[in-house]
Amino acid sequence: MNKKREWVKNAAIIFLAVMLILTFFSNTIMNYSLPEVSAQYVNGGTLAEQIRGSGTVEANQTYDIKIDETRIIASVEVKVGQEVKKGQTIYKLEDGDSAELEQAEKDLRAAQKAYNEALLSAGFDYRSDELDIESQEEDLKIMKEDLANISVYQDNYEKAKKKVNDIEKEIKTLENEAQQYNDILTALDAKDYSSLDNDTYNKIKNAQDRLDSAEKSKTKTEDKIKEYENDIASGGNEEAILSARKAVEEKQLEIDNTRRAISDLTIGIGTEDSGDENSPKQSLTDLQNTLAQQNLDLQYLQETYNLALSKSSSYSRNKQLLQAERTTLETNNRKYESAQKTLDDTIASVRRDSKNKVSDINNKIDDAKLRLETAQSEEEEAKEKASVSVEEQEKNIREAENTLEKAKITLSQKKEQDSITASKDALNIEDLKASVEDAEKTVEKYKSKSVGAEITANVGGKITALAFSAGEEATMDSVVASIEMTEKGYALEFSVTNEQARKVKAGDEAEVQYYWGGDAKAVLDSITPDKTNPSQKKTLRFSITGDVDPGQNLQIAMGSKGQRYDYIVPNSSIREDTNGKFVLVVTAKSSPLGNRYIAERVDVEVLASDDTQSAVSGGLLGGEFIISTSTKPIEPGMQVRLVDE
């Protein structure tokens, strides 16, 4: 049994020791599990931004050779990179008919068909002109009928205008009336009754005067009561009164103590009693007897105190006057409350009446606006009908009659001219015949190239691309080869932001970086909007000279003039997610086991950057401790451990 107790005691000691060690070293243990971060303070300074980009070298001018018919490539006579001269053979073509020859034969057949149809379609049709004349005659008839009703249309229009004007005046009058009642509500809210009409002002003023009068009477009575109370308190034999009052207060204190003792003892009494004279129930009885005696003593002392008060010569008179003033105060209070209610009811009545008036007027305004919309629509319709006067309508009729007469004359002249047109049709037929002959020549041209055809270089230069190999089909107008005209120079381009583009200008020299293929130089040639994002980016085009070849990828860098910035941070400290760019700031929070370091997010905007640093703006105030690197991925709100901890 002793061994078991010894084992339990040893286990308890070991458990307490382990808990003590974990308590003291918990902060250290936790720190080893936290991400370790490097950080530095935010400072201002000067930053010269490097504008960087890369692009592919291309010739300033390249000549594309196209084939004018679809053919099969028999052989390729040059290689990519080979220098060629003008007229040199690039491809030889297989013998055979091309698709263009087949199309030319189709075109020939179409031309022959058009020529034959023109021979058959010689002649004229006047049905359309005659229908147009009939339509003009019908319109003229309607215009003459409308002429008799113009005076009615104009009279209706004048009535419609007057109706619209009357409704607009009605709305204006109602709005002014509504504004008057709104002004009353505003005056009531501001308690500025002087701006109200006389009747309303007098109602509120009388109620306010009545309240002021009642308040004065109430205040006067309260002052008299205080005066009598002070006289009563200081009246009679002051020393005797004070002594008697003190005795009453002391006896009252004894009674209070006895009552508390009875209360405490009552709570502690059990359900059974031993009958002993020192039992709780016996003690309770004794305390109750003591309390009864103390109450008798208090009654005697109170009578002694009242007697001392009555001995004062002015006590009785002041007491009667005090009672009378208190009765008067009750009456004055009722009068004050009644006056206050009358004032509140008067203001509430004026406010309620004004709101009801505003509501009624607004309903009338809404109804008037609906009637106005209908009247305006009627006015617009009447205006359209009355837009033409009798004189104008008569003029329009004369013009329509003239137009109709001209149409008839035109048709007559047209028929006369058709004889001339017939001769022109003959000429057109001759043109169609010529088209047939041209189509026949095209067919013959393609047939002549069916055997022994080849594609030659139109200019001299370096072959940069050969689109086809032997055996492949080259379609009409496709680019079969590209010749770089090396004497025209080379170029390279890439996109930058609008902000970066504003920091450079055409003619600025740039550095070709990481290029060991020879000597190469770059000069900014032009700045144009980026076709893929013209509102946000610009395209920088550079003129490249030196030992370069088309297709090479070059890294270009340009340095802008240094500029002063308030906040500069390491590039490694800038992070980005779907909400934008931000940095993590180390903040220290105290705890019973030491300081805890928390990574907090601060959103920033990058203004400029070089190889190592960036200028930023946003939520930084200066002097923050910015995290630049960490041993583990971290998120805002995580606890971290500083490198030097």
Residue-wise pLDDT tens digits, 278-309: 567 778 888 888 888 888 888 888 877 777 66
- In the prediction, which pLDDT does 272 show? 47
The token duo for 280 is 């709780």
- In the prediction, which pLDDT does 454 show? 80
Least confident of 33-42, 132-141, 162-171, 437-446: 437-446
- Report whether 133 contacts 407 (CB < 8 A): yes
Find how far residue 125's CA is from the centre of its chain.
66
Please say if the pLDDT value at position 343 is more than 80: no
Residue-wise pLDDT tens digits, 184-200: 788 777 777 776 777 77
CA angle 612, 614, 618 (to 5 degrees): 155
- Report whether 31 contacts 641 (CB < 8 A): yes
- Report whether 127 contacts 388 (CB < 8 A): no
- In the prediction, which pLDDT does 539 show? 92
Question: DSSP class of residue 631?
Answer: S
* Domains 34-47+565-642 and 211-349 in one fold: no
Please say if the pLDDT value at position 271 is more than 50: no
Residue-wise pLDDT tens digits, 603-638: 999 887 777 888 888 888 887 889 888 888 888 888
Look up the pTM and report it.
Answer: 0.31
What CATH number does domain 211-349 carry, 1.10.3470, 1.10.287, 1.20.1560, 1.20.120? 1.10.287
- Rounded to a whole number of angstroms, the distance between the first and last alpha carbons of the chain is 51
- In the prediction, which pLDDT does 571 show? 86
Please say if the pLDDT value at position 399 is more than 50: yes
Average pLDDT, the chain: 78
Q: What is the dotted CATH code of the domain comprising 34-47+565-642?
A: 2.40.420.20
Strands 36-41 and 639-642: parallel
Please say if the pLDDT value at position 530 is more than 60: yes
Q: What average pLDDT score do residues 374-393 get? A: 75
Please indicate whether residue 423 or residue 438 has the higher confidence score (pLDDT): 438
197 burial (CB, 10 Å; 0-12 / 13-18 / 19+) is exposed
Please say if the pLDDT value at position 148 is more than 80: no
Domain regions of the chain by residue span: 1-33, 34-47+565-642, 211-349
Residue-wise pLDDT tens digits, 349-359: 888 888 898 89
Please say if the pLDDT value at position 493 is more than 80: yes
DSSP letter string, 321-350: HHHHHHHHHHHHHHHHHHHHHHHHHHHHHH
- In the prediction, which pLDDT does 603 show? 92
